């Protein structure tokens, strides 16, 4: 049984900030684009920490470590993502053992392939962030983990397209795919594509979580062009 994602609060100054926490403990590894703990490495925990919409910190990496330590976690043993989205509105989905947690902000959805001029204009806008945690309950090979990133990204883009969002994501989206370390005679799954057993489950769960988060964004924001945050919205 994998650990559940929990919603906690941390205090910074005179304010409480919501933070999503997945604290699985030892024996897990992940591939991630997270600010802290990115790459392919052991991963005992994951955080999606809400920050101010006008977030500025001279050293975001140090801040991420402080957040983890403040929650009693070993700072270099997991992954930290930051977002200005209201993480209390996180969405989740499961599919035959795969679990996904998502925070969806669509202040500035963008196409992945854009002209240099269009990309330059984005720097003057407040952006949004879609942060994803994907937990697969079986060991995946290195190649399957890379493939799982592709599958998850395609499923996210599919959900956005079906909702009419004018972009494939946002320019600051982050993703973490975690699975158990192989033990004993365990054989890691070799594939993570959308027609593999676990890739198909992952795709459906990501699609469902992002679709739910996108629908919630439209309900609460009214317009995907509404302001978000520099790190996320």
Q: Hey, what CATH class is 5-221 in?
A: alpha beta
Q: What pLDDT was estimated at residue 56?
A: 84
Q: What pLDDT was estimated at residue 226?
A: 37
Q: What pLDDT was estimated at residue 232?
A: 35
CA atoms of 95 and 195, how far apart (whole Å): 14
Q: What pLDDT was estimated at residue 126?
A: 63
Q: What pLDDT was estimated at residue 2?
A: 67
Token pair for 202: 């992952």
CA atoms of 30 and 140, how far apart (whole Å): 10
CA atoms of 182 and 135, how far apart (whole Å): 15
For residue 4, report the phi and psi dihedrals to the nearest 5 degrees.
-90, 155
Q: What pLDDT was estimated at residue 55?
A: 83
Helices (H), the chain: 60-70, 116-122, 142-162, 197-221
Q: What pLDDT was estimated at residue 231?
A: 33
Token pair for 229: 């945050």
pLDDT tens-digit readout, 75-89: 899 999 999 889 999
Q: Using CB atoms within 10 Å of the CB of residue 116, give its burial: 0 to 12 exposed, 13 to 18 middle, 19+ buried.
A: exposed
CA atoms of 69 and 76, how far apart (whole Å): 9
Segment 144-159 shows an average pLDDT of 98
- Asked whether residue 147 carries a pLDDT value surpassing 80, the answer given is yes
Segment 178-183 shows an average pLDDT of 94
For residue 127, report the phi and psi dihedrals to the nearest 5 degrees.
-105, 175
- Asked whether residue 32 carries a pLDDT value surpassing 80, the answer given is yes
Token pair for 174: 């982050």
Least confident of 20-24, 64-68, 108-112, 159-163: 108-112
User: DSSP string of 47-68?
Assistant: EEEE--TT---S-HHHHHHHHH
Q: What pLDDT was estimated at residue 34?
A: 96
């Amino acid at each position: 049984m994998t650990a559940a994602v929990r919603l906690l609060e941390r205090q910074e100054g005179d304010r409480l900030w919501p933070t999503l926490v997945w604290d699985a403990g030892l024996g897990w590894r992940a591939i991630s684009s997270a600010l802290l703990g990115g790459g392919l490495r052991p991963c005992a925990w994951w955080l999606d920490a809400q920050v101010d919409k006008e977030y500025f910190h001279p050293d975001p990496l140090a801040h991420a470590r402080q957040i983890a330590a403040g929650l009693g976690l070993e700072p270099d043993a997991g992954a930290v993502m930051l977002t200005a989205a209201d993480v209390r509105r996180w969405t989740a989905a499961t599919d035959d053992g795969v679990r996904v947690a998502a925070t969806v902000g669509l202040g500035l959805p963008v196409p992945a392939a854009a002209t240099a001029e269009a990309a330059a204009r984005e720097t003057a806008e407040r952006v949004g962030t879609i942060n994803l945690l994907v937990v697969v309950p079986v060991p995946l090979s290195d190649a399957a983990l890379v493939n799982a990133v592709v599958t998850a990204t395609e499923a996210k883009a599919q959900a956005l397209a079906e909702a009419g969002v004018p972009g494939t994501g946002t320019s600051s989206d982050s993703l973490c795919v975690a699975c158990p370390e192989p033990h004993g005679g365990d054989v890691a799954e070799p594939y993570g594509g959308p027609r593999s057993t676990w890739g198909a489950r992952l795709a459906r769960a990501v699609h469902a979580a992002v679709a739910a988060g996108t629908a919630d964004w439209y309900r609460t924001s009214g317009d995907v062009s509404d302001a978000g945050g520099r790190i996320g919205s």
